[in-house]
Amino acid sequence: MAMKITEDCVHCGACVTECPNEAISADDSLGRHVIDPEKCTECVGFYDTIKCQEVCPSESCVPDPDRQETEAVLIARARKLHPNKDFGENFPSRFRR
């Protein structure tokens, strides 16, 4: 399930540098940050926690119920986004905590 950012976002940008997939950008027209669901892996492959959610001061990074995805789908996305990285089979994942 990709994450999304709600209207509670205070546009601070704390999440941007935490994302391993460069999935988060500022949308000045909305006055908040947004997550590209085609780049979000719920941090699977990099961390066993969800980084944007951890650092967000306004608790506005939340799971998108309309984009429920399995670990297999998410690690496949990570591999596609980072073709030169060897994730192996013991990659960090919130599904394995």
How many CB atoms are located within 10 Å of the residue 1 CB?
17
Footprint on residues 46-85 left by ligand SF4 (CB under 6 A): 50-52
Q: For ligand SF4, which residue of 9, 40, 56, 75 counts as binding (CB under 6 A)? A: 40
Burial of 61 (0-12, 13-18, 19+ CB in 10 A): buried
Residue 18 found at the interface with ligand SF4 (CB under 6 A): yes
Q: Which stretch binds ligand SF4 (CB under 6 A): 12-20, 26-34, 65-73, 81-89?
A: 12-20
Total residue count of the chain as it appears in this document: 97
How many CB atoms are located within 10 Å of the residue 76 CB?
15
Residue 42 found at the interface with ligand SF4 (CB under 6 A): yes
Interface ranges with ligand SF4 (CB under 6 A): 3, 18-21, 23-24, 35, 40-43, 50-52
